[in-house]
Structure 1
Amino acid sequence: DETEMLVTWVVKSGSVHDTPTVEYGPSEGSLHLKATAEATHFKEDKTEFRTFRALMTGLTAGGSTVYYRVGSSGTAWSKTFHFRTLSRSSSSSSWLPRLAIYGDLGYTNAQSTPYLVKEVAAGHLDALFHIGDFAYDLHSKDGERGHDFMEMIEPIAAQVPYMTIPGNHEEHANFSHYDARFSMLGDRHQPAQHKEGKPPLNHRLNNHYHSMTVGPVKVIMINTEYYYYTGYGWGQISR
């Protein structure tokens, strides 16, 4: 949905004394809109952190600039980031999105990253699609490699949609480290969105099978890794 943007951040340790929030608006000095984050606690072996997700809504599609920051007044605020909204797909079949599509981006020797940062900063890309294999690996060094990787891609992922699907390197603990860090929304026709009231964000997340329309392009992302890791059961394959 071009009028929404989901932002995700992680707190490694310590206490959060009030409600984590995203503040956003049309300028850096006018962050008058707020969205409360939903929190999840992740623990696997020696890795432990909390993930916060907040959904910005009511955005104006078609290239409007949105400024935002995340955090809380009782703990700390991030710096202010900004992004531009995408054109409405239903009315812009002549608009050609500029997409970067790649896989296998590690933290060590990540020679593509400076070029991606420059392209995003110059406004040359509308969205990025990272097709599997992150950080090498997200769970390594008790999750510290994952933290380092996410900080590395922050200049990219904070400014354009960073769309993902897991690869074989995300298999550890049934893809749980990947799911704890990334937040792909199911498309707008997903039944969970039409339940009475406002469904929780975690009911809308679909990190392994999702699709979107970007201008004239229909993108379908499917996790095929399930076929190789049947030890986690056959239910995921059936889906």
Structure 2
Amino acid sequence: MLQWTTKNFILTYFFTLISTHEYLPINRIPEWKSKINGNIGPSFGQPEQIHLAYGGDPTSYSITWMTYDDTLKSIVEYGTDISDLEHSVEGRCAVFLDGQKHSVWRYIHRVNLTGLVPGTRYFYHVGSDHGWSPIFFFTALKEREDGGFIYAVYGDLGVENGRSLGHIQKMAQKGQLDMVLHVGDFAYNMDESNGETGDEFFRQIEPVAGYIPYMATVGNHEYYNNFTHYVNRFTMPNSEHNLFYSYDVGPVHFVVFSTEFYFYTQWGYHQMENQYNWLINDLKKANSNRHNIPWIITMGHRPMYCSDFDGDDCTKYESVIRTGLPLTHGYALEKLFYEYGVDVELWAHEHSYERLWPVYNRTVYNGTRHPYVDPPAPVHIITGSAGCRENTDVFVEHPPPWSAVRSTDYGFGVMRVYNSTHLNFKQINVAQEGKIDDDFWVVKSSPKHHRPFKHRDLKRLRTYGTHIPKHHCHHKSHCDKTRRRRKHSRHSHVEI
């Protein structure tokens, strides 16, 4: 009978560069065990970087951690009494080398807990006979007595200058949050210093992610080696790669996807195609279930619209995320999300906060007293100022008409979905000691407003909205710049 050693498996894995969780064989023999000496064990068996993820329903959680050696066993002991962790579940261990010259062997342990009772507090620790973590606790998700679930929402949080982290840690441990939605860009960057920056990031978020589910979206700072650190370090529900997936919490269907497929095409256009087809199928299924789960909320890193002063894709009238690939408009997401009635779209990437008026195809719904009550278009929110070494972004002096509220201070969002009709979003300003920069509601007055947008929505959007033509200059300063650029282009052409 063939017996796998850890080294055999890792070498096979390294040369195939598989982009999914590849688990070590259960019958493997770690190098330390092959020496048949009871005095020899793993050199680095202490678990660290513990983080929770929602398992897809309130009775299921996954727990992920890392060791620097193969401990052979991956165990979670848990229970409702801190002095009696009566239940024990064994999971699997995966390993990855990230492709760098001096790649470190990282052993990623995953355990799924099932049969949890919503609203019950559980204490747990993770590890093996070669090392155990401290005892953490979590409360299996259950709707709050005063309504709904509370989410911290942010992107672009780094190891350096992680200004929002302390506020989020405190809120998570005090039970003021139910879940984190991290909308891309972690650590800056997880692959740096041979992966040590990624290790430090997961240590820093452990005081959050050890207590509440930490749900992730891939961003541009995870691009290295086809997003290998992101793929291997997280465990998201209904996915073996974490790049696109969906799950339900209470009245919300969350749809998580990668905007990075549109920019890092060296990894192949098939990733974009696979995701687009998956999105169609997922949104069809979600719409057929809106009588049970009415809200659809998407999470993608790079926004379709923004007004930062950085020349990024979302500042252009034809963002590739919004309108699809050049010329063909293939895999365009704005039309797709509109046709399937997405209610709210969460973004990051811009190191700032910006709330948009309801908008579709450059038509801004800002001509009524209550634009967020039964809006005829999705509501976009950009919250990417959690804090990183690249600091915050500044806005253009005269923002385009779709921009409703802006802040350049460090902060993060707190979203509460109370029920099938009311969603509240606040932006917390950590630079000003928790001041609230924005506080608004999205209201769907009845279940019939949770549905694909239709012709009557377009009519209302056009009647009470403002259409921004393709070559529109929303302020004379921008028009003057445009004219100067065109004049310069003509002169350059003549000289050539």
Q: Tell me if both proteins adopt one fold, taking TM over 0.5 as the criterion.
A: yes
| 1:51 and 2:108 aligned | yes
Tell me how far apart the structure 1 counterparts of residues 67 and 155 of structure 2 sit (CA, whole Å). Answer: 26
Unmatched 5+ stretches in structure 2: 1-56, 275-496
Report the AA paired with residue 141 of structure 2. L
Q: How does 1:57-96 map to 2 (within 5 A)?
A: 57-61=114-118, 63-73=119-129, 75-87=130-142, 95-96=147-148
Tell me how far apart the structure 2 counterparts of residues 133 and 184 of structure 1 sit (CA, whole Å). Answer: 16
Q: Counterpart in 2 of 1:23?
A: 77
Q: Counterpart in 2 of 1:222?
A: 257
The answer as to whether partners of 2:232 and 2:241 remain within 8 angstroms in 1 is no
When residues 211 and 15 of structure 1 are mapped into structure 2, their CA distance, relative to the original with a 3 A threshold, is closer
The answer as to whether partners of 1:3 and 1:85 remain within 8 angstroms in 2 is yes
How far apart are 1:205 and its partner, in Å? 2.9
When residues 41 and 166 of structure 1 are mapped into structure 2, their CA distance, relative to the original with a 3 A threshold, is same
How far apart are 1:206 and its partner, in Å? 4.5
State percent identity of aligned pairs: 36
Q: Counterpart in 2 of 1:198?
A: none
* SS of equivalent residue, structure 2 residue 58: coil
Q: How does 1:168-187 map to 2 (within 5 A)?
A: 168-186=220-238
Q: Counterpart in 2 of 1:40?
A: 94
| 1:150 and 2:207 aligned | no
Show CA shifts across 1:191-218 (max 9, x none).
Answer: xxxxxxxxxxxxx534011122222222
* SS of equivalent residue, structure 1 residue 144: helix
Tell me how far apart the structure 1 counterparts of residues 138 and 172 of structure 2 sit (CA, whole Å). Answer: 10
Tell me how far apart the structure 2 counterparts of residues 15 and 158 of structure 1 sit (CA, whole Å). Answer: 22
Tell me how far apart the structure 2 counterparts of residues 19 and 228 of structure 1 sit (CA, whole Å). Answer: 39
Higher strand share: 1
Q: Counterpart in 2 of 1:136?
A: 188
TM-score by length of 2: 0.42
How far apart are 1:47 and its partner, in Å? 2.9
The answer as to whether partners of 1:21 and 1:72 remain within 8 angstroms in 2 is yes
Q: Counterpart in 1 of 2:242?
A: 207
How far apart are 1:20 and its partner, in Å? 1.8
Tell me how far apart the structure 1 counterparts of residues 195 and 156 of structure 2 sit (CA, whole Å). Answer: 18
Unmatched 5+ stretches in structure 1: 187-203
Q: Pick from 206, 210, 213: which aligns with 1:161?
A: 213
* SS of equivalent residue, structure 2 residue 65: strand
The answer as to whether partners of 2:237 and 2:247 remain within 8 angstroms in 1 is no
The answer as to whether partners of 1:95 and 1:216 remain within 8 angstroms in 2 is no
Please identify, of 42-51 and 121-130, the stretch whose mean Cα deviation from structure 2 is larger: 42-51
The answer as to whether partners of 1:95 and 1:215 remain within 8 angstroms in 2 is no
The answer as to whether partners of 1:3 and 1:60 remain within 8 angstroms in 2 is yes
Tell me how far apart the structure 2 counterparts of residues 208 and 27 of structure 1 sit (CA, whole Å). Answer: 36
| 1:126 and 2:162 aligned | no
Report the AA paired with residue 20 of structure 1. S
How far apart are 1:81 and its partner, in Å? 0.5
How far apart are 1:35 and its partner, in Å? 1.4
Structure number with greater Rg is 2
TM-score by length of 1: 0.86
The answer as to whether partners of 1:47 and 1:142 remain within 8 angstroms in 2 is yes
When residues 43 and 206 of structure 1 are mapped into structure 2, their CA distance, relative to the original with a 3 A threshold, is closer
How far apart are 1:15 and its partner, in Å? 4.3
The answer as to whether partners of 1:11 and 1:51 remain within 8 angstroms in 2 is yes
How far apart are 1:180 and its partner, in Å? 1.2
Tell me how far apart the structure 1 counterparts of residues 248 and 70 of structure 2 sit (CA, whole Å). Answer: 39
The answer as to whether partners of 1:208 and 1:222 remain within 8 angstroms in 2 is yes
The answer as to whether partners of 2:155 and 2:183 remain within 8 angstroms in 1 is yes
Tell me how far apart the structure 1 counterparts of residues 116 and 241 of structure 2 sit (CA, whole Å). Answer: 22
Tell me how far apart the structure 2 counterparts of residues 95 and 37 of structure 1 sit (CA, whole Å). Answer: 34
The answer as to whether partners of 1:35 and 1:56 remain within 8 angstroms in 2 is yes
Report the AA paired with residue 29 of structure 1. S
Report the AA paired with residue 176 of structure 1. T
**Length, aligned pairs only:** 214
Q: Pick from 39, 43, 65: which aligns with 1:9?
A: 65
Tell me how far apart the structure 1 counterparts of residues 230 and 247 of structure 2 sit (CA, whole Å). Answer: 20
Show CA shifts across 1:116-136 (max 9, x none).
Answer: 011111110000000000000
